């Protein structure tokens, strides 16, 4: 167990949200979209550090859900899909939120979020709720007629169901097995809010796990536990997570049972990930609408059956926000205040920063050799600007776990200093042992490489 200096963390900082949003903008994690045109409400672009971290979040998910398992395969389905898919899935009819208007200021709200009072002007003169479909509708091709209507997917899941038979035939997988996918999803949210928590365009990471119907409860519990551990393994303290079952009136139209893994956001507990038992709803719906048989043959009983589906579904962008909030801390180092992101090294947008002590040519030459040695193995930054102290602070603030400093002695002793972000401890390491040193620190297999 590592002990850190006394610090202000997610647990005790009232201004956490504002600080993290500012840091994201200032350091290039997240920018408001189309900012030079005044921005496009609640739409965000990921800057150099944000794009790197978001990729790490998705890679960590893919690694645990697909790569390290032999019972899950991945696909990458289209974002645009014909109306028939959403007609069959029930989204055209049921993927709605209750919309109300304030008759005084004409703002629109989600009825379940405002308790009968307009948050903008305080009026209680609110219209009756009506169902507002959250899907983005468009037209494929140049002719705008009903036959060309297409939708931007509001979930990636349907790609897994419509490809169920293709995957069965090409992989020979049989239940229990899963199909996973990571990709963009779009929802015309009535009230996008809280930074990247709820946006109209976001990234989803979903897995549909097909099981014999009788085994659904067992696999449901299994996936809730697995997904909870994934977050805590990547550094979210378990006390910032909780499991909340949905009430019957909260369930999505396809769900037999859902639990949310919730995170302690600065404004209170909020959904981080949902795990649902979708039963045989989707495969039956698509089989009926398409006329295809979407079922499997059970060798043991000699009968065909429609599997049930257990679905863990997580927003990559929302997950990134939770990891940032949980990692943010302020402490003091040598009497100086610092901001530090205590990100797990697998999520850090920069994993190793190579810092030559000065711009002298021979130091830069050696530093670049060190950089080239590290780059295939870690996400690296190279920084020669300003004092070494300022550079350490900058790296701490974006969560870089290790800084490697190349100084004048390095030229003679072929050694560098490795500084740890969390403890700020520094040790001298021979360059030829640097990859092994970092392997020990990151828990990777040792890897001796000579320069
Ligand atoms: N296929 C199931 C499904 O889509 P969901 O609970 O509607 O379930 C899954 O969404 C996850 O996607 C949520 O737990 C959340 O992490 C993320 N999510 C949903 N809507 C979002 C939005 N508007 N912006 C960002 N993330 C969102």
Q: What is the mean pLDDT of each run of 10 residues along the chain (451 residues)?
A: 52 88 97 94 94 98 98 98 96 94 94 91 94 95 84 98 97 96 97 93 98 97 98 97 96 95 97 98 98 94 96 98 98 94 98 96 95 98 95 98 97 97 97 96 73 51
What's residue 12's pLDDT? 72
Predicted TM-score of the model (pTM) = 0.95
Q: Which fold has domain 350-442?
A: Rossmann fold (3.40.50)
Strand residue runs (E) in 48-166 = 72-74, 80-82, 96-101, 108-110, 130-133, 136-139, 149-152
Q: How many angstroms does the Cα of residue 82 sit away from the middle of ligand 1? A: 21
Which superfamily is assigned to 6-80+173-324 in CATH?
Bira Bifunctional Protein; Domain 2 (3.30.930.10)
Q: Which residue puts its alpha carbon closest to atom 11 of ligand 1?
A: 314
- Residue 199 CA to ligand 1 center (angstroms) comes to 10
Q: Which has the closest alpha carbon to 96: 133, 128, 137?
A: 133
DSSP secondary structure string for all residues of 322-368: HHHHHHEEEEEETTEEEEEE---TTT-S-SEEEEESS--HHHHHHHH
Report CA(267)–ligand 1 centroid distance (Å).
Answer: 18
Closest C-alpha to 228, from 184, 205, 259, 265: 259
Q: Which atom of ligand 1 is nearest to the CA of 192?
A: 23
Q: Please give the Cα distance from 370 to 346 (Å, whole number).
A: 20
Ligand 1 midpoint to CA 239 (Å): 22
What pairs with residue 435 in β-bridges?
Answer: none
Tokens encoding 271: 């959904």
pLDDT digits (tens, 9 = 90+) for 269-313: 999 999 999 999 999 999 999 999 999 999 889 999 999 999 999
Asked if 357 and 405 touch (Cβ cutoff 8 Å), the reply is yes
Q: Return the biggest CA–CA distance within the chain.
A: 78
Name beta bridge partners: 403.
Answer: 353, 419
Name the residue of 157, 272, 315, 317 whose CB sits within 8 Å of the most ligand 1 atoms, as the mutation to test its pocket. 315
Residue nearest to atom 16 of ligand 1 (CA): 315
Which is nearest to 223 in space by CA: 155, 275, 280?
275
pLDDT of residue 240: 97
* All CATH 3.40.50.800 domain ranges in the chain, comma separated: 350-442
User: Which residue shows structure tokens 């990729």?
Assistant: 55
> What residues does CATH 3.30.930.10 cover in the chain?
6-80+173-324
Work out whether strand 72-74 and strand 177-186 pair parallel, antiparallel, or are unpaired: parallel
Encode burial over 85-107: b for 16+ CB neighbours within 10 A, e otherwise.
bbebbebbeebebebbbbeeeee
């Amino acid at each position: 167990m590592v002990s850190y200096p006394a610090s202000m963390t997610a647990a005790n900082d009232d201004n956490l949200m504002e600080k993290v949003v500012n840091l994201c903008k200032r350091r290039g994690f997240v920018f408001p979209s189309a900012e030079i045109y005044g921005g496009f409400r609640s739409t965000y672009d990921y800057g150099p550090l944000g794009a790197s971290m978001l990729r790490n979040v998705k890679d960590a998910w893919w690694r645990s859900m697909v790569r390290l398992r032999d019972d899950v395969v991945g696909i990458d389905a289209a974002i645009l899909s014909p109306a028939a898919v959403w007609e069959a899935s029930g989204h055209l009819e049921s993927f709605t939120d209750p919309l109300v208007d304030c008759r005084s200021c004409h703002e629109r709200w989600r009825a379940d979020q405002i308790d009968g009072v307009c948050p903008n002007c305080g009026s209680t003169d609110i219209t009756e709720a009506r169902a507002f479909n959250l899907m983005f509708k468009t037209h494929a091709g140049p002719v705008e007629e009903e036959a060309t209507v297409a939708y931007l997917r509001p979930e990636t899941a349907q790609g897994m169901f419509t490809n169920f038979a293709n995957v069965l035939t090409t992989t020979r997988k049989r239940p229990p097995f899963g199909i996973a996918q990571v990709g963009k999803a779009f929802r015309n949210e009535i009230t996008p809010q809280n930074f990247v928590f709820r946006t109209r365009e976001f990234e989803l990471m979903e897995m549909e796990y097909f099981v014999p119907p009788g085994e659904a409860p067992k696999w449901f519990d299994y996936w809730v536990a697995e997904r909870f551990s994934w977050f805590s393994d990547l550094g979210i303290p378990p006390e910032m997570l909780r499991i909340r079952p949905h009430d019957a009136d909260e369930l999505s139209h396809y769900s037999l049972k859902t639990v949310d893994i919730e995170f302690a956001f600065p404004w209170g507990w909020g959904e981080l990930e949902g795990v649902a038992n979708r039963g045989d709803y989707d495969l039956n719906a698509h089989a009926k609408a398409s006329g295809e048989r979407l079922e499997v043959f059970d060798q043991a009983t000699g009968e065909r059956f429609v599997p049930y589906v257990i679905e863990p579904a997580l927003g990559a962008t929302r997950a990134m926000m939770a990891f940032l909030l949980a990692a943010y801390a302020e402490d003091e180092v040598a009497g100086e205040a610092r901001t530090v992101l205590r990100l797990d090294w697998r999520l850090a947008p920069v994993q190793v920063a190579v810092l030559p002590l000065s711009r002298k040519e021979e130091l830069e030459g050696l530093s670049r050799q060190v950089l080239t040695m590290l780059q295939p193995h870690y996400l690296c930054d190279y920084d020669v600007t300003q004092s070494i102290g300022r550079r350490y602070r900058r790296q701490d603030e974006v969560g870089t776990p290790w800084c490697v400093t190349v100084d004048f002695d390095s030229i003679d002793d072929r050694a560098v200093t490795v500084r740890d972000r969390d403890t700020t401890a520094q040790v001298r390491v021979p360059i030829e042992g640097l990859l092994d040193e970092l392997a020990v620190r990151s828990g990777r297999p040792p890897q001796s490489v000579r320069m």
